[in-house]
Amino acid sequence: MDKNKALEILQNLLKIQSVNDREAEVADYIKLLFDAYPAAQVTEVNYAPGRSNLVITIHGERPGKMLGLAGHMDVVSPGRIAAWRHPPFAGEMDQQNIYGRGASDMKGGLAALICVLLDFLANKRAFAGTIRLFATIGEETGNYGAAQLTQQGFADDLAALIVAEPSQMQVEFTHRGVIDYELNAKGKAAHSATPDSGNNAIDQLFCFYQAVTKLMATKTKIDPILGPLLHNVTQIVGGEQINTIPAQARLYGNIRTTPRYPNRDIMVELQSLVADLNQQPKNQLTLRFHYPERPLPGNPQAPFVQLFKQVASRALGQEVAVVGDGGATDASEFIRAAQKIPVVIFGPGNTSGHQVNEYLTINDYLAAMTIYQQVILHFLR
Ligand SMILES: [Zn+2]
C-alpha cells in the first residue's frame, strides 16, 4: 500500500477519542475502508451503546487454515493534556514519528493489519484459507470484547493468531496472565472505647493479608521465560473515623500468573483460603474476581513462531529476539476457543504507550506491514 495512504489511515484512527469507550466510531471508520471490497465479510458485534467489535473475514482462492489477526480499538486516558508536546488526538506527524494516544498501543498495529488486508483485496493477492481480523473493544479494562467474540464462536477455527500489540519489534510467544481480586470485610461499628461491642473490619483484612502472603510464598515454581508468580496487595480502603471501630474495609490484590500456575488453580486456592478464614467467628470476608486473564503458554520452537522470527529478521536486517512479556493481551481470551494454537504478539511500537507523548516511528509502522504481509503469505501458502 502507498505509504501516504497508510499513514493517513493511522492518523484518522488516532483522531477518534476511543478512551475506554466509543470504539463504535473506530469500527465505523474501518468498515468504511472495506466498503469497496465485497470479498470482505464485515460483521459488527455490539457490546454496549457506542461500543462495537468488528470482525473482517477474507477467504482465499482455495480452502485452508484460518489465521487470526487481532488489535484493540480502545486506548487509555491521555493523562494531563498540557504535558503533551503534540495534542493526543490530532494524529500529528514529523519526518520520523507519528504522535498521539494509541500510536504505539495500539492503533499503529491495528492500522498496519488493516492496511495489509486492504492491500490483499486491492491487489487480489492469492492465498489458501482464511484471514480473520478481530478489532476489539475494552482490551485495556478487561479484554471483554475478545471475550465476547470468543464466546460467540468467532475464534473457533483459528489455526494461529497474531496480536499486533507493541512488542518493540520483538517476537513474543508467551505472556503472563492476571488475576485482580477484591476482598470485602464486613464488621460492626462501635465506639473505640468499647471495641468488644464491635467487630473490626480492618483486623479482618490483616488476617487475610497474613494468610495470603503465606500462601503466595509457597508458589516457588519459576517460569524459565516469565519468572515467578507475582502477588501484590495494591489498594486498601476502610474505616470511618479515628475513634470508631471500622464496620467496612476493602482490599484489592493483583496477581500476575505464569503458565506454571493456571489461573483456575490460584482462584480456587484463594476461594478456599477465604472460606477457611470465615470459619473464625469474627471474619466475614467476601472475595470477588475482576476479569481474570489466563497466561499465554507458548513454545519458542513452534514453526509459526520461528517463521515469524525469520521473516522479521530478514525484513529488519537484524536478528529479532523471541521473548516473553509481563502483560496480558486479548490472546488470553481467544485461546479459550483454540487452546493449542501458536500465538505471536508482534506489533510496531515502543514503551511510550500509557504515557504522555506516546509516539510510533514511521519506520516501525511500515516495516510491520511488510512483515505481516509476508507471514500471512507464507502461513497461508
Ligand atoms: Zn494494548
Domain count, the chain: 2
Do 161 and 241 lie in a common domain?
no
pLDDT, tens digit, for every residue of 25-39?
Answer: 999 999 999 999 999
Do 243 and 157 lie in a common domain?
no
CATH number for position 358: 3.40.630.10
Give the distance (Å) from ligand 1 centre to CA of residue 105: 5
Q: Are 312 and 346 in contact (CB under 8 A)?
A: yes
Do 216 and 202 lie in a common domain?
yes
Say what the pLDDT of residue 33 is: 98
Say what the pLDDT of residue 179 is: 96
Do 152 and 203 lie in a common domain?
no
Say what the pLDDT of residue 209 is: 98
Residue where a domain terminates, one of 246, 276, 293: 293
Give the distance (Å) from ligand 1 centre to CA of residue 221: 28
Give the distance (Å) from ligand 1 centre to CA of residue 204: 36
d(C-alpha 315, C-alpha 132), whole Å: 24
Do 324 and 281 lie in a common domain?
no
Say what the pLDDT of residue 326 is: 84
Do 286 and 354 lie in a common domain?
no
Give the distance (Å) from ligand 1 centre to CA of residue 381: 29
d(C-alpha 278, C-alpha 144), whole Å: 32
Give the distance (Å) from ligand 1 centre to CA of residue 363: 20
Pairing outcome for strands 285-293 and 177-186: antiparallel
Cross-strand bridge partners of residue 344: 162
Say what the pLDDT of residue 252 is: 97
Do 259 and 168 lie in a common domain?
no
Give the distance (Å) from ligand 1 centre to CA of residue 18: 13
Residue where a domain terminates, one of 229, 262, 293: 293
pLDDT, tens digit, for every residue of 299-336?
Answer: 999 999 999 999 999 999 999 999 999 889 999 999 99
Do 85 and 229 lie in a common domain?
no
pLDDT, tens digit, for every residue of 78-100?
Answer: 999 999 999 999 999 999 999 99
Do 338 and 271 lie in a common domain?
no
Q: Which domain holds residue 215?
A: 177-293
d(C-alpha 374, C-alpha 52), whole Å: 30
Residues of the chain short of pLDDT 70, as ranges, are none
Give the distance (Å) from ligand 1 centre to CA of residue 72: 7
Residue where a domain terminates, one of 293, 308, 339: 293
Give the distance (Å) from ligand 1 centre to CA of residue 275: 36
CATH number for position 234: 3.30.70.360
Cross-strand bridge partners of residue 323: 172
- Which SS3 state, helix, strand or coil, does residue 28 take? helix
Express the helix, strand and coil content of the chain in percent, nearest 5 each. 35, 30, 35
Do 182 and 284 lie in a common domain?
yes
Do 288 and 354 lie in a common domain?
no
Give the distance (Å) from ligand 1 centre to CA of residue 206: 35
Task: Please state, as a whole number, how many other Cβ atoms lie within 10 Å of the Cβ of residue 261.
Answer: 19
Give the distance (Å) from ligand 1 centre to CA of residue 371: 19
